[in-house]
Amino acid sequence: MSALAKLPFSVLDLAPIRDTGSAQQALHNSLALARHVEALDFNRFWVAEHHNMDGIASSATAVLLGYLAAGTSRIRLGSGGVMLPNHAPLVIAEQFGTLATLYPGRIELGLGRAPGADQFTAHALRRERSGSADDFPQDVAELQRYLGPRTSDQRVIAMPGSGTNVPIWLLGSSLFSAQLAGERGLPYAFASHFAPRYVHEAIRVYRNAFTPSEVLDKPYVMLGVPLLAADTDEQAQYLATSAYQRILSLIRGQSLVQRPPVESMEGLWLPHERDAVGSFLGMAVIGGPQKIRARLEVLLEQTEADELIFTCDHYDFADRLHAFDILASLR
């Protein structure tokens, strides 16, 4: 039996905005994608907090999750993630506690340590708040207290939130959160969909540091994987040029709106930029069904991941839906 047969598949959606589209259409597409993968029996659907990016519509993460929860029935929904340095833990506890109260058993909270924004945007988000990435361990602990059972000496409560025990994940693209997630006995998601360099070391650090908790009795690792699937290898390579262009724009500090695929990237990037894009997509699975299957089986053999969460940046929404159909057919 294939290693993929019983492996949970999930989706991380950035609500991408096309060059000819709008934020409204991107948000509608996010719900349509959530419904589509729910019907395919995917495990969870996460959206990510990004700010000051014209090609991403998921900045108000909790608000978007409420929209997705209202339009789906059973798939787990969460953040991948909320960038905790941007927020007071009490506010996040109230937001996700409200979601969990309205949609019990379906809401989870992935937390990131990086601000996920430039210094001007970070200042605009925090205003006079002094929060920083250095406060992350204390902020996580504070958030866990707000979402956990109320204690007799608790002066500040999250309402809704108190006693909801919203599942918390720690996310990371380096080693800090891997160590913290292990020590706290929390599930860990590594951002290998954009930062694959430290994936093997981060998994090792997490598993070595793992201490059983009320949440988990053994480590649980989920890996981010860029999915660029199509019916043939050639078609997948063509569709992938949209993702290449978007990452190139990110590297250059340009607009992140999605652009249509092109026949060739020659003349669009310099050699060092091509290498940087390739490094960014080091964990990508690109190709037709058989190539995707082979690549994923190697990835699982190398990492022994417990779950995979896929991003897909195909320009046409129909191609994005079909990519997940192809993925589902491999199980």
Give pLDDT, residue 2: 73
State the virtual CA torsion across 24, 246, 19, 261 in degrees, nearest 10.
Answer: -120
Cα–Cα distance for residue pair 86/113, rounded to 1 Å: 9
Q: Which of 58, 54, 55, 98 is nearest to 45 (CA)?
A: 58
pLDDT in tens, 132-175: 557 899 999 999 999 999 998 999 999 999 999 999 999 998 89
8 Å CB contact between 32 and 25: no
Ranges in the chain, pLDDT < 50: none
Give pLDDT, residue 95: 98
Give pLDDT, residue 132: 59
8 Å CB contact between 204 and 238: no
Cα–Cα distance for residue pair 65/110, rounded to 1 Å: 13
Provide the residue ranges of all domains of the chain, joining segments of one domain with +.
Answer: 9-223+300-329
Cα–Cα distance for residue pair 6/54, rounded to 1 Å: 37
Cα–Cα distance for residue pair 62/80, rounded to 1 Å: 11
Helix (H) or strand (E) holding 73: none
C-beta neighbour count of 4 within 10 angstroms: 16
pLDDT in tens, 212-249: 999 999 999 999 999 999 999 999 999 999 999 999 99
What are the structure tokens assigned to 232, written together?
A: 């043939």
| Class of domain 9-223+300-329 as given by CATH | alpha beta
Distance spanning both ends of the chain, measured CA to CA: 10
8 Å CB contact between 186 and 207: no
Helix (H) or strand (E) holding 131: none
